[in-house]
């Protein structure tokens, strides 16, 4: 009992024998002197991060953000295109460096990269409808990078997406849990040091600090630039192994959804098939692929027993894409396309060189006889 109450109460020996009693005032002092200041500090940090909104995941827009809302930014870039694209690149941030210029070089068709953070089937559908139904783009080809997370029932909808007016109408019918997870996550991020540092960066920039000058995060055709990482790589100061090691420490709690036995979401599988039906109705050919991961990531997923979940995705995509006369390739392993383990920013996001190899392999498959979804 002494150990149990030591943090909150001061234990004293009674003047009457060896009995022990607790001084309740010590508990009050503990809450007043320790817990209350912590709560006040966290509330203050939350207020700063919410008001400054450095990552564009809350409502206020008092200052230019430290990092743009990717959903709003890419919509703007798409609307500013002088030539409507005939090819769209869909996917999460893992497809961010798939190069539209290379697509144009290989196909002769204009292209835009619509890859967005935390994209799932709902986002793919929204992008297609915004591009084709609303902006009348003459799209006849779609390149879709499908992460394994896309068909998991717990995949959230990005907080940025919930603040992008052009996307919101397309989330009707989406379950409550993905939206609720998004709100909970963005709430918890209010107290993170990462966001607080970004808030201070915005403040320094507003006060005229030239070192906080904002950089473009996308090329006008939607290609992700990763400017800071590329500079560090060029300077020889980017330690890929250290970055991967740090990020992989979060996977035991973040990637439990991939544990053996995880089921695919029936709702998202149905939405995927409806998306393919929509493409058929518009005469759009789908080029679909599963993206590669760094070998260290795959080793950890194998340890978790997650690779059978990847296999389920493979079989589902292979079957459904073939049924719609599309092309499917599984590039989960680098050897499948001759990828380089050094051409990554972290365990999942690749540099342009690897994505160029994927594009050439995938589009070449479309020119050859249709082999369905062979691995």
**206 vs 374 pLDDT, higher one:** 206
Our count of domains for the chain comes to 2
Query: Residue 313 domain-assigned?
Result: yes
Query: Residue 363 domain-assigned?
Result: yes
Q: Are 346 and 244 in contact (CB under 8 A)?
A: yes
Highest averaged pLDDT of the listed ranges 76-90, 213-227, 296-310: 76-90
d(CA 53, CA 132): 32
Q: Are 77 and 222 in contact (CB under 8 A)?
A: yes
What single DSSP character describes residue 290?
E
**Are residues 268 and 238 located together in one domain of the fold?**
yes
**Are residues 19 and 86 located together in one domain of the fold?**
no
Cβ burial of 88 (10 Å; 0-12, 13-18, 19+) is buried
**Three-point CA angle 39, 44, 45, nearest 5°:** 100
**Are residues 6 and 95 located together in one domain of the fold?**
no
Containing structural domain, residue 16:
2-52
Task: Please give the average per-residue pLDDT across 174-199, as a whole number.
Answer: 64
Query: Residue 255 domain-assigned?
Result: yes
d(CA 57, CA 187): 10
**Are residues 275 and 166 located together in one domain of the fold?**
yes
Phi, psi at 120, each rounded to 5°:
-125, -170
What is the average pLDDT value for the chain, to the nearest integer? 82
pLDDT of 107-154, one tens digit each? 999 999 999 998 999 999 999 999 999 999 999 999 999 998 888 877
Q: Which of 89-93, 145-149, 191-195, 278-282 has the lowest mean pLDDT?
A: 191-195
User: Above 70 in pLDDT, residue 259?
Assistant: no
**Are residues 162 and 278 located together in one domain of the fold?**
yes
Q: What is the pTM of this model?
A: 0.78
Query: Residue 200 domain-assigned?
Result: no
Query: Residue 183 domain-assigned?
Result: no
User: Above 80 in pLDDT, residue 291?
Assistant: yes
Q: Which residues are CB-neighbours of 249 under 8 A, at least 6 positions away?
A: none
**Are residues 22 and 121 located together in one domain of the fold?**
no
Query: Residue 193 domain-assigned?
Result: no
Sign of CA dihedral 361, 310, 147, 283: positive
d(CA 350, CA 96): 9
pLDDT of 191-244, one tens digit each? 777 667 667 776 777 777 666 666 778 999 999 999 989 999 999 999 999 999
**Are residues 349 and 251 located together in one domain of the fold?**
yes
Residue 338, Ramachandran bin (φ over 0: left; ψ between -120 and 50: alpha; else beta): left
Query: Residue 259 domain-assigned?
Result: yes
**Three-point CA angle 255, 359, 374, nearest 5°:** 70
pLDDT of residue 127: 97
Sign of CA dihedral 276, 279, 327, 125: negative
Task: Write the CATH number for 83.
Answer: 3.40.50.1110
Query: Residue 223 domain-assigned?
Result: yes
**Are residues 250 and 315 located together in one domain of the fold?**
yes
């Amino acid at each position: 009992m002494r150990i149990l109450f030591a943090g909150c109460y001061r234990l004293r020996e009674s003047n009457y024998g060896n009995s022990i009693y607790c001084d309740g005032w010590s508990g009050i002092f503990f809450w007043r002197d320790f817990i209350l200041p912590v709560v006040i500090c966290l509330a203050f940090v939350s207020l700063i991060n919410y008001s400054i909104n450095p990552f564009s995941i809350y409502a206020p827009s008092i200052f230019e953000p430290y990092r743009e809302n990717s959903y709003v930014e890419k919509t703007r870039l798409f609307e500013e295109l002088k030539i409507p694209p005939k090819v769209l690149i869909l996917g999460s941030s893992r497809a961010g460096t798939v190069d539209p210029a290379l697509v144009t070089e290989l196909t002769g068709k204009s292209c835009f990269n619509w890859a967005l953070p935390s994209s799932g089937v709902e986002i793919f559908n929204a992008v297609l409808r915004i591009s084709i139904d609303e902006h009348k783009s003459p799209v006849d080809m779609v390149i879709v990078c499908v992460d394994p997370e896309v068909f998991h029932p717990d995949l959230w909808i990005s907080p940025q997406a919930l603040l992008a007016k052009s996307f919101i109408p397309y989330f009707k019918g989406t379950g409550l849990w993905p939206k609720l997870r998004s709100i909970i996550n963005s709430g918890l991020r209010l107290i993170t040091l990462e966001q607080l540092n970004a808030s201070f960066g915005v403040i320094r920039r507003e006060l005229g600090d030239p070192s906080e000058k904002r950089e473009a995060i996308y090329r006008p055709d939607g290609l992700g630039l990763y400017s800071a990482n590329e500079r560090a790589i060029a300077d020889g100061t980017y330690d890929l192994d250290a970055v991967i090691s740090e990020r992989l420490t979060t996977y035991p709690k973040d990637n439990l959804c991939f544990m053996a036995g995880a089921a695919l979401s029936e709702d998202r599988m149905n939405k995927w098939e409806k998306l393919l039906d929509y493409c058929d109705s518009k005469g759009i050919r789908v080029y679909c692929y599963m993206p590669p991961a760094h070998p260290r990531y795959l080793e950890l997923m194998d340890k978790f027993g997650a690779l059978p979940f990847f296999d389920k995705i493979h079989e589902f995509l292979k079957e459904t894409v073939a049924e719609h006369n599309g092309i499917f390739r599984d590039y989960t392993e680098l050897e499948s396309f001759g990828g380089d383990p050094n051409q990554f920013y972290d365990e999942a996001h690749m540099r342009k060189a690897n994505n160029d190899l994927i594009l050439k392999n995938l589009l070449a498959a479309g020119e050859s006889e249709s082999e369905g979804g062979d691995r």
